[in-house]
Each structure stands twice: as structure tokens, then as C-alpha cells.
Amino acid sequence: MADLIWASMTELARMIATKEVSPVEVVRAHLGRIAALDDRLRAYITVCDESALEAARAAETALASAVPAGALHGVPIALKDLFETAGVRTTAGSKILGEAVPSADATVVTRLRAAGAIVLGKLNMHEFAYGPEGLNDHYGHARNPWGGVEARIPGGSSSGSGVAVAAGLAPGALGSDTGGSIRIPAALCGITGLKPTYGRVSRAGVLPLSWSMDHAGPMARTAADCALMLGAMAGYDPADATTSVLPVPSYVAALNGDVKGLRIGLLRSFFLESSAPEVRAAVEAAVKLLADQGAVVDEVSLPHLADVPAATMAIIGSEALAYHAAWVRERSADYQRDVVERLRAGAFITGVQYVRAQQLRVLVRRGVDEALTRRDVLLAPTAPITAPRLGEREVSIGGVATDARSALIRFTRPFNFSGHPACSVPCGFVSGLPVGMQFVGRPFDEATVLRAADAFQRLSDWHTRRPVVD
Amino acid sequence: MLAAMDIDLVGLRAAAHVAGFAFTDAELEALRPGLERAFEQLARLEQLPVAAIDPAIQYRML
């Protein structure tokens, strides 16, 4: 049973396709673990046990008479609870949408089901995806499985996705990322998470936080599994006008394990130099490992990053309030406090400020593009810290007290702002807590980002460590 | 844009009203420290060389 729980999605797909294991066995194993552990971990808001078993039986029957339907035939996944699911409530972690039942699946859910994936359930999240801690007053706070006896936050907003994958309650999950909401929980929970290029993956049927900053992407235990999921999800969608018509390459085929000659730009200024010393040491050790294998590493800095926090506040604040305005006027008591306060702040952003922020965005994108003209990827810590304790508002970075929320999103939001793809992978542990680093690539070059992440995972074993939660 | 020096309760109440929201004084007080910091940072955007740049309102990578 443990083999099925900790097997990668790639391994599960192979074992199912060769009939080494039945999809029913795989789904039952995961449902059993959810039943045993989720009262404590609170990764799930809704468990779809009956429909998952029904889909598993159908997958088993289909396999008996035909070839696998797709690359994920019979493989279970779970969805952050802002991806709409036909007939299954989609709450966005809120009381306001607590009983909202969509009539259709989000495009990415449709595509994953078409590839054979089986939905185990809907995952916990920061309410309406508006917070990097992953807190939820309505459904309970998801708990970082690496915290031991201490309650540590999993990071958010895709908190349930991070916890479920890290604790073996799902081999892979969907997350969304507006300021770091895939990569932060990936880093804090010790898993792998990819924010694709803006426009690579459809957001049709994904409840928005901020239209011009939202990205949907995969979270799994390996970069190879993220590649497998992305291949099933990516591509033009007429229902999402921001999606690109560029063809989708085979991300799995790009994973050749080779870093020799890979040009890596290490982001020391703003990123590495502002990290906790232990985080910096873990990332520097990872860089040395890559360089020892032939990667060509130099240091590079990006312009205008000091102004990104204010600009993202102007953009996300305005766009989020535009979506929530009626509820903020009529149902403000139904929000959790931190979320409604962030929404209210959006009322004071002027049109000029919003446009200035969108103008800055062009400058920042040019800066990242320029850094990538002579490099294949950029590399930086995903977050400057490891998982804070639940309720910890301030953290120490090199002896300096820092607001925990600001620290969590500092290194991830520049790439929501610019739209470049970024993948967080585990690169060490500090006092039993995972450290993450992110590879950032050229627009629509997820293949190189995933190749670098996968190659690092072939050289290291941080992604194979498992928390003790039984 | 509201300058940092203008961030008092009366100004916030009026700005919220213009924006179409009726926040209580307690709600506005809770927002005020964060808004003061935000307005200081947002004022810096006016110093950036962006006047001739088309904003990424309809943002597309390609």
C-alpha cells in the first residue's frame, strides 16, 4: 500500500497501463489515507470518494478492452477548490460560495479527465486565494506535514495542494499562482510546483483573484510529474482569451537529465542576499552541485524589483475588488478578516496607480527577458524563510524582524508580474523544514525549466524525503 | 492620488464613498497603517520612466 501512496504519477501511470496495479487499488489506497489523516491535516474541503471509485472502475474496465485513454489513465489527482467541477461544490475556500455547485468543469479539469486522471477531491486554500499563508477560518487551517508537534503553516494560497501531495493524500494536484500560490506551498511543504508562463494554461472555469496575474499549474512530488500534468493541461483554449496559440511541446521528452552547458543566472541581489542564512546556504549548495555537473553559473540582477510590491498591490487590489465588489458591500461579515481587509484596501487604488503598475510590468518583463538572453534559466530561493509557525506574524531573517506575509511572497511575485515560467523544487532542509528554490525560464520555455528542475532532482534526494504523519 | 499626509479618517471615508463603499470608521482605522505604507510606495511609481510605455492591461506574452 505504501508503494502506491508514494509512487510518482509517472510510475502509477506505467503500473496501471501495464496492469501491474488496478486504478481501483490506487484510488482506494489514497481514499484510505485521506480518511485516516485528513481530520488532522485538513488538506481537503470535499472528498469525492464515490465518484472517484466509480471513475476508477470505469478506467479499469476501459483498460481491459483498450489501450490507456491518455498519459494519466487511472492516476488520481486533487484540485484546489477554485477549479470548477461539474456537480461538485467549488467553494474557493469561502463561506460565500460554500454551496456553489458549477454546471461544468474548468477547461484544465476537462483536459486532465480526458487524459485519464481521476479526481479525488477539492483542496483547502486561503480564502479566495488571497493570502500566502494558506489559512482558512471556514474549513480549518491546512497543516504543514513537516511541522511535527508544532503547527506550521503550509504556505498558500494553494495550501491543501501542498499538504495533500507532501503527505501522500494525492500524488499530484492543481494549484493557482497569483503572487506565488503554487511555489510558496511547494517550497514550504517540500514538493515541486510549476507556475507556467502567463497564457500557457487556461484559466477558464478557475475562480479569479486577479485576471492579469493569475496562473494555473501543476503541483507534484517531482518535476517529471509536473511535466506529465502540464502536457495534459496546456494549450490554447477559446474560452480563455489570454491563452496562447503556440503549440505544446512534449515536456516529458525534454527531460534528458543533462545540465552540462546549461547556463544558469544566479539571482543574488534582492533574492539570495535577502534570504535567511540557512536558506542561502541550501541554495548555494544546490548551485554548486549543478556547477559540478557542468552547468555554467554566473550572477545576474533584475531591475525595478523594489517597486514590484506596490505595483502588484495596485493590480491585485483593484482586480480582486472588481470581482468581489458586490460581496464586499453586502456580505463582508462572511469573509475571514485578513481577506476582507485586503479587499477593502483595493477601494483606495486610483486608476492612475493601476495603469502605472501595468506600465512598470512591461519594464520588469524586459529586465527578465534581458537576463535570459544569454542564459537558459535564472535561479533563486523560492522564499527567504522556511515555514513559519501558525500565528507567527513576524519572522527573523538574519536577525532582522520581518513581516512574515511580505517575506513569503517577496521572491515569487516578480514572476507573476512578468509572466515568466517558474518551478520550485526542494533543495534542502533546515531544522526539519524544507527549503525551496525556483528555476525561472523564458516565456513558453517550460521545457527548459522542467529539464533543469528534473536534472537537479536526478542529482539530489531532497524531493524523496517524506514527512512522518501516520 | 492620495498623498501620505492626507491619510486621515475623513479623507478615507470620502474616498471610500466616491469608490462606492460605505466602510465603518473601525474598518477604515484598521486599513489606515497599511494604506499609508502603500501610498508611499505607490508614489514612487510616478518617478519611473514609464510615461511612454503602453500598459499591459490586456496582458499577453505572445
pLDDT digit string, tens, across residues A84-103: 999 999 999 999 999 999 99
Query: How far is it, in rounded angstroms, from Cα A6 to Cα A12?
Result: 10
Query: How far is it, in rounded angstroms, from Cα A452 to Cα A447?
Result: 9
If DSSP codes are grouped into helix, strand and coil, which group holds residue B15? Answer: helix
Q: Under an 8 A CB cutoff, do A244 and B2 touch?
A: no
Band of residue A150 on the pLDDT scale cut at 50, 70, 90: confident
- Average pLDDT, integer, range A395-415: 96
pLDDT digit string, tens, across residues A295-347: 999 999 999 999 999 999 999 999 999 999 999 999 999 999 999 999 999 99
DSSP helix, strand, coil percent of chain B (3-state; round to 5): 55, 0, 45
If DSSP codes are grouped into helix, strand and coil, which group holds residue B22? Answer: coil
Q: Is the pLDDT of residue A157 over 60?
A: yes
Burial A196-210, CB ≥16 within 10 A → b, else e: bbbbbbbbbbbbbbb
Please give the DSSP secondary-structure letter assigned to residue A84: -
Q: Compare CB distances from A352 to B1, B39, B54 and report the shortest one's residue.
A: B1
A407 Cα to chain B: minimum distance (Å): 16
Query: How far is it, in rounded angstroms, from Cα A103 to Cα A89?
Result: 10
Q: Tell me what pLDDT residue A68 has.
A: 77
Query: How far is it, in rounded angstroms, from Cα A54 to Cα A310?
Result: 48
Q: How many CB atoms lie within 10 A of CB A260?
A: 9
Which residues share a beta bridge with A215?
Answer: A177
pLDDT digit string, tens, across residues A262-308: 999 999 999 999 999 999 999 999 999 999 999 999 999 999 999 99
Query: How high is the ipTM of this complex?
Result: 0.90
Residue for cell digits 515560467? A421
Query: How far is it, in rounded angstroms, from Cα A55 to Cα A400?
Result: 52
- Whether residue A416 lies within 8 A of chain B, CB to CB, comes out as no
Q: Compare CB distances from A443 to B15, B35, B62 and report the shortest one's residue.
A: B62
- In chain B, the residue whose alpha carbon lies closest to the alpha carbon of A333 is B27
Is residue A157 annotated as a catalytic residue, yes or no?
A: yes
Query: How far is it, in rounded angstroms, from Cα A429 to Cα A448?
Result: 25
Count of A–B CB contacts within 8 Å?
A: 114
Q: Under an 8 A CB cutoff, do B56 and A358 touch?
A: yes
**pLDDT above 90 covers what percent of chain A?**
97
* DSSP, residue by residue, A240-305: -TT---SPP--TTTT-----TT-EEEEETTTTGGGS-HHHHHHHHHHHHHHHHTT-EEEEE--TTG
- Whether residue A328 lies within 8 A of chain B, CB to CB, comes out as yes
Q: Tell me what pLDDT residue B60 has.
A: 59
B25 Cα to chain A: minimum distance (Å): 13
- In chain A, the residue whose alpha carbon lies closest to the alpha carbon of B16 is A347
- Whether residue A365 lies within 8 A of chain B, CB to CB, comes out as yes
B26 Cα to chain A: minimum distance (Å): 11
Which residues share a beta bridge with A174?
Answer: A79, A218
B4 Cα to chain A: minimum distance (Å): 12
B47 Cα to chain A: minimum distance (Å): 10
List CB contacts (< 8 A) between B15 and chain A.
347-348
Q: Compare CB distances from A344 to B23, B51, B54 and report the shortest one's residue.
A: B23
Q: Tell me what pLDDT residue B1 has.
A: 46
Tell if the pTM clears 0.90, that is, is over it.
Answer: yes
pLDDT digit string, tens, across residues A8-58: 999 999 999 999 999 999 999 999 999 999 999 999 999 999 999 999 999
Q: Tell me what pLDDT residue B61 has.
A: 58
Sign of CA dihedral A418, B48, A404, A91: negative
- In chain A, the residue whose alpha carbon lies closest to the alpha carbon of B41 is A310
Query: How far is it, in rounded angstroms, from Cα A69 to Cα A83?
Result: 22
- Average pLDDT, integer, range A386-395: 96
- Average pLDDT, integer, range A71-94: 98
Q: Are A394 and A421 in contact (CB under 8 A)?
A: no
Query: Which of B2, B36, B45 best tests the A interface by mutation, with the highest count of A CBs <10 A?
Result: B45
Q: Under an 8 A CB cutoff, do A329 and B34 touch?
A: no
Q: Tell me what pLDDT residue A435 has.
A: 98
Is residue A181 annotated as a catalytic residue, yes or no?
A: yes
List CB contacts (< 8 A) between B36 and chain A.
none
Is omega for the bond preceding A418 within 30 degrees of 0, making it cis?
Answer: no
Q: Are A271 and A380 in contact (CB under 8 A)?
A: yes
| Catalytically annotated residue among A8, A80, A318, A424 | A80
Distance of CA A133 to the CA centre of its chain: 13
Query: How far is it, in rounded angstroms, from Cα A128 to Cα A414?
Result: 21
- Could you read off the pLDDT tens digit of each residue along chain B, which spans 62 residues? 455 556 899 999 999 999 999 999 999 999 999 999 999 999 999 888 888 888 887 655 55
pLDDT digit string, tens, across residues A98-108: 999 999 999 99
- Sheet holding A44-47: strands in order across? A44-47, A118-123, A76-80, A172-177, A215-220, A192-195, A422-430, A433-441, A377-381, A263-267, A296-300
Residue type for position A215: H
Query: How far is it, in rounded angstroms, from Cα A161 to Cα A249?
Result: 26
